[in-house]
């Protein structure tokens, strides 16, 4: 890590942490939630609308951008920040999770993964070195080590995958050349405490500037997730940011922060928006529901987002039924606002040493959807 | 027309006119182009984005809003302005054109039209009185008389339709109750000069506050359109605004203004945007074209819209291929900006008495798409 990056904890309450992560494209105030822009666009909103939401960090997917439009094309146009017109920090994943999700269309060996494109069936190969090369072409501020994901309950495969993940993490570190990118290691190990501990110990010896928690929220129980998070929180270095990948429901953000997580990302708020579901701090509303037909209230009376300040549930329901694009845009704005303002309030609560109470009240009021 | 409406010509050059049309929701500076929000949303953009484009007037469709969500529902929620969060002027059509477009699914008699909904096949009936009632529930600033449209070349049907259009225009005037809406008469008559003249004479005797030119750009030749426009320009009262319905390519705006038209509307810029086509003042670009793959230029280097200030053709092409909603949003913003700034420049040119030259140069550079 060059001097471009610096992580400072400014406040702690119990295991909850408030910090500042300095990057070449600005400071990230943690804990934070990052919206996902899989293909170089956070679906249904403009960068201008994202900025109005005080979005700080966004995630883009290496696998998708490598296949289309291609990382070299993006590099030739000045990198991903310029390409998608986002001057704040960007994080790219390694491509590992997407490639392993291809199931029958990929083959793993000790050197890397060969797979078929979901777009045109063409054959491609990603190795740790290739993943870093792609991510260097994209030019995100935070990049991820290429890892092997497994199903959470297969001990043998988790052990094999873990060995590869560790070897590949070292190869990623060696392949990396850009000083303006922070490479995070990814802890794997499924639901197995011994594997998680082994992974933490191995990767912390490599001294990454941050650690991602992989392989959670992929099928295991909530109790298992929380237990693994607690184990990791106790063992990970305090002075490095921790990033819980793919987690983003309001209750998971609150419980994650209680267990020492600093960074979250998830497609949930944007994907639900395109399926007519609004997220508030206390519940989910399917805005297509007939009960909203003549409802003059905004999605959430306590919300100050552009959608809630200006539009009724009745109008949003009409837009959904009429298949108007504006429905997706307004619901995306609202859902992102819910998560981003939640994280801001969480951060302030930690700094003011009242987060334990905040979290207890929040979780009490949450109606599971 | 109550005192809520006032039309003043502030400048004329040849037949081109610059004016101000005062409405309860603000002044319309003419000539102007109105984007179309068929179902109460200009597709793919927010009202905030429309305002940033200096949009003045938008059009909404009576037929669509009557069927879904229903004009009474909209009235109950405070009218269309509040429903769709648009505080500037709105124009609604009469439903006539949409109903007549249903072809086999409608029956016309001297009292009105019975038709089947394109949504659920349910049977409905619109009479002149019903059209006014719906438009009063919606509450647009400018509303349209219920008319019968015909194919432009059928003399017999045009004559019959014209009689009905005239009788219905009188019934609309009698049915109208709201002083805060201006009801425009619609001139019909196909490509037949005698019919157009008869229609103008009949409807001007009824002293509408404005006149719409219906039944043009529906299949006749450009030469016929222009000849009818010239005939109408010479015969329509000078002190009333003229609205050419459904016309909106840049060259048609320029030639329409040359023939005394004040108001235009069209789905063209928003529809083309959703089909990856960008409109500039000189041409159309299909942004999905492979030649834009690595093109770092904006759609139009001389354009200052949000899309052109911030995004390359290569990025827009990527968004189109990746089926990202943002492609439609950015192209819509660009296309509307092209037409709206064109109309502003036209207005200034008229006021500065250099529109003849402006129009000649414009039409010379236009590459037909």
pLDDT tens-digit readout, B76-87: 999 999 999 999
Q: Which residues of A touch B293 (CB under 8 A)?
A: 69, 73
Provide the number of structural domains found in chain B. 1
A306, B76: Cβ pair inside 8 Å?
Answer: no
Q: Is B93 an active-site residue?
A: yes
- Where do the DSSP E strands lie in B111-176? 112-116, 123-126, 142-144
pLDDT category of residue B217 using cuts at 50, 70 and 90: confident
CATH value at residue B65: 3.20.20.105
A224 part of a folded domain: yes
Q: What is the pLDDT of residue A367?
A: 59
**Contact (CB, 8 A) for B193 and B225:** no
pLDDT category of residue B104 using cuts at 50, 70 and 90: confident
| Minimum-distance CB partner of B77 among A44, A45, A312 | A312
A258 part of a folded domain: yes
Task: Return the residue of A nearest to B324 by Cα.
Answer: A43
A75 part of a folded domain: yes
B85 part of a folded domain: yes
B326, A45: Cβ pair inside 8 Å?
Answer: yes
CA-closest candidate to residue B142, choices B77, B74, B88, B75 = B88
| Minimum-distance CB partner of B46 among A43, A314, A329 | A329
Model confidence, pTM: 0.97
Q: What is the pLDDT of residue B369?
A: 44
> A293 CB near a chain B CB, below 8 Å?
yes
> B329 CB near a chain A CB, below 8 Å?
yes
B122 part of a folded domain: yes
Q: Which residues of A touch B317 (CB under 8 A)?
A: 69
**What is the domain extent for residue B256?**
6-266
A39, B322: Cβ pair inside 8 Å?
Answer: yes
| Minimum-distance CB partner of A319 among B41, B64, B76 | B41
B39, A318: Cβ pair inside 8 Å?
Answer: yes
Other C-beta atoms within 10 Å of B140: how many? 27
B17 part of a folded domain: yes
Write the pLDDT tens digit of every residue in B41-59.
Answer: 999 999 999 999 999 999 9
Write the pLDDT tens digit of every residue in B5-47.
Answer: 999 999 999 999 999 999 999 999 999 999 999 999 999 999 9
| Minimum-distance CB partner of A328 among B39, B76, B325 | B325
pLDDT at B190 exceeding the cut of 70: yes
Task: Return the residue of A nearest to B318 by Cα.
Answer: A69
B67 part of a folded domain: yes
Query: In the beta sheet, which residues pair with residue B278?
Result: B285
Q: What is the pLDDT of residue B368?
A: 52
| Minimum-distance CB partner of A306 among B48, B317, B330 | B48
Query: Residue ranges of chain A with pLDDT lower than 50?
Result: 1-2, 369
**Contact (CB, 8 A) for A209 and A1:** yes
Residues 234-263 of B with CB under 8 A from A: none
A83, B312: Cβ pair inside 8 Å?
Answer: yes
A326, B76: Cβ pair inside 8 Å?
Answer: no
> Which candidate in A35, A76, A315 is best for mutational testing of the B interface (most B CBs within 10 A)?
A315
A41, B326: Cβ pair inside 8 Å?
Answer: yes
pLDDT cut 90: percent of chain B above it: 91
In whole angstroms, give the CA distance from residue B69 to residue A320.
Answer: 11
B182 part of a folded domain: yes
User: Which one is predicted more confidently, A233 or B104?
Assistant: A233
Q: Is A87 an active-site residue?
A: no
In whole angstroms, give the CA distance from residue B61 to residue B94.
Answer: 8
Q: Looking at A329-333, B115-119, B268-272, which range is the least confident one?
A: B115-119
């Amino acid at each position: 890590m060059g001097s471009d990056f610096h992580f400072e904890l400014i406040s702690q309450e119990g295991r909850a942490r408030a910090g500042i992560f300095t990057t070449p494209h600005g400071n990230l105030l943690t804990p934070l939630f990052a919206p996902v822009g899989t293909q170089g666009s956070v679906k249904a909103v403009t960068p201008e609308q994202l900025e109005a939401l005080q979005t700080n960090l966004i995630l883009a997917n290496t696998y998708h951008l490598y296949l289309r439009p291609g990382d070299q094309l993006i590099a030739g146009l000045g990198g991903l920040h310029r390409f998608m017109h986002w001057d704040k920090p960007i994080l790219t994943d390694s491509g590992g999770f997407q490639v392993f999700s291809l199931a029958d269309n990929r083959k793993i060996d000790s050197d890397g993964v060969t797979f078929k494109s979901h777009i045109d069936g063409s054959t491609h190969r990603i190795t740790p070195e290739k993943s870093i090369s792609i991510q260097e072409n994209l030019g995100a501020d935070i990049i991820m080590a290429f890892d092997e994901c497994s199903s959470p309950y297969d001990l043998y495969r988790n052990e094999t995958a873990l060995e590869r993940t560790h070897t590949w993490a070292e190869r990623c570190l060696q392949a990396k050349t850009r000083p303006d990118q922070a490479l995070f290691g990814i802890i794997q190990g499924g639901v197995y405490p011994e594997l998680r501990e082994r992974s933490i110990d191995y990767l912390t010896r490599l001294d990454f500037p941050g650690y991602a928690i992989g392989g959670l929220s992929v099928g295991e129980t909530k109790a298992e997730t929380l237990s693994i998070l607690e184990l990791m929180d106790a063992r990970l270095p305090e002075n490095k940011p921790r990033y819980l990948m793919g987690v983003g429901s309001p209750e998971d953000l609150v419980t994650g922060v209680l267990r020492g997580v600093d960074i979250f990302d998830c497609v949930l708020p944007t994907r639900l928006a395109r399926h007519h579901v609004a997220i508030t701090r206390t519940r989910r509303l399917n805005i297509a529901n007939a009960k909203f037909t003549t409802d003059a209230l905004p999605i959430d009376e306590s919300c100050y987002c552009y959608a809630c300040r200006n539009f009724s549930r009745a109008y949003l329901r009409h837009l959904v039924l009429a298949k108007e694009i504006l429905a997706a845009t307004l619901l995306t704005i609202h859902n992102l606002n819910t998560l981003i303002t939640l994280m801001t309030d969480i951060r302030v609560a930690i700094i003011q040493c009242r987060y334990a109470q905040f979290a207890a009240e929040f979780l009490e009021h949450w109606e599971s959807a």
